[in-house]
Structure 1
Amino acid sequence: MAALRRRGVQIHRRVSNLRIDGAERASAVSFHAGTRPFRIELDLIALHEGVIPSQQIARSIGCAHRWDEGQQCFLPVLDPMGESSIPGIFIAGDGGGIIGALASADAGALCALAILKRLGKITETEFARRKAVAQQALDAHLTIRPFLDRLYRPRDEVLAPPDEVVVCRCEMVRAGAIRDVVRQGCLGPNQTKAFLRSGMGPCQGRMCGPTVSTIVARETGQTLDATGYYRVRAPLKPVTIGELASQYGEE
């Protein structure tokens, strides 16, 4: 932060009402910092609204998920050793909740130890000793996590934006359109996909999924867990026709 200030970079805090202006491309950004309005003309914007786990792989194989109020996102349901709701499927690191690179390595060590024990490749004594070391290291990294989650909690308007905001950028679906179909009886994200095509673009709902779920939940008065998330379909990431064709040899 000090280095940025020395180079004359302005830092604005308590930002709200963030808006990117422009028709064919970005031309300016406007916002409030506290109660003071700002508008900055520019042609390049880097926007960061936080980090959440990728759910697509875990959901595609049926792992249970739950809404985490602290990190404002869906997380896979895991036991203390990182095993999911499907026996034998372990999830380590930020895929199970945002914890950072160093903590992720320790979480991975716990998963590995659990697998080694189940395969009979490690004694109970060795398992207990190494588990205590990995758990202590993980706990040390996680001590600050509740503070970070609270300090950098996403702005409410990220998950529940005004009607005019484009939520699904792939299909250009605005928040108001999602609210309209909910009022017509649409009760979940998968129904909004059928009504509006939200979540059917190249990103497969990675960008709009949490926001669509939150909008639906707030409009219906349901919890996020009851509202749920998109059903994930393959391919998990866009592939070209050439890539698909290359999987088949000549007959």
Structure 2
Amino acid sequence: MKGAVVVRPGGSGGGGSGQPQGPPANPDYGGFFDNVSNFDGTTVDRTGQDTVEISVGAQGNNGAFAFDPPAVRVSPGTEVVWTWTGEGGGHNVVSDGDGPLDSGSPVAESGTTYSYTFEEMGVYQYVCVPHESLGMKGAVVVGGPLEGGSGGDGGGGGRGSIELSGPQWLLSGSVLLAFFSPLLFAAVMRRRYREQPPQMGTDDDLERATGPAPVEEAAETEPAVELSHDEYDPKGTAALVAFYFVLIGLLWAFMYFVEFLGRVSVIG
């Protein structure tokens, strides 16, 4: 797809690490910027921001015929807003070839804006149709290095990245807590059951312990039975623990499909 190389799950581009991988630190624009005077080879890093602004009609290409910055990297889910300066005549923002960007007919009025929210990782190239031959071109790179500086290999944990995979994910604190909490619950309930005082015995037990009571003072009493809601129930506890493990297994299966099958491919 010319002008919008989109990274999608399920193919090459995932690198073999089991994680979705965005565009590299230094994308290959394939000669797209060869005649753009205000592009120095740097892709400005704006990852982690909710909104990024690009000027339309900035100085460059022998006049006000440039996008500033011409190439910018953002995180998935970022809204990019193009703002017209009012200089250089009528401009528009249109994807180079197939792509999602199309601001419509050229506009010259200052303060005009056009926005698009990028959800999928990839390299999106665009032009100003009236001034494309002059070099009024731009690119938005979605995904890739985070918090590592422009063009760097930084591996920060900003939005749009997946840090935990494989053993690291399995050893995360929340997963360990969820996995072992039913065992801890069963141990606590068993200990409480063992620490409960013995129930009151019958009259025969009392007689063996203290000797026979005088006949004239003997009185027939009903055995006292103590009922407690905290009494340990082995079967109920086992059923609860089994249900908890089934729940954890379902959560693991869900995370597998979300994280490990989220591999990417380059379609273009």
Question: Which protein, 1 or 2, shows the higher relative CO under an 8 Å CA cutoff with sep ≥ 6?
Answer: 2
Structure (1/2) with the larger helix percentage: 1
TM range (shorter): under 0.3
Structure (1/2) with the larger strand percentage: 2
Q: Greater CA radius of gyration, 1 or 2? A: 2
| TM-score of the superposed pair, with normalisation by structure 2 | 0.24
| TM-score of the superposed pair, with normalisation by structure 1 | 0.25
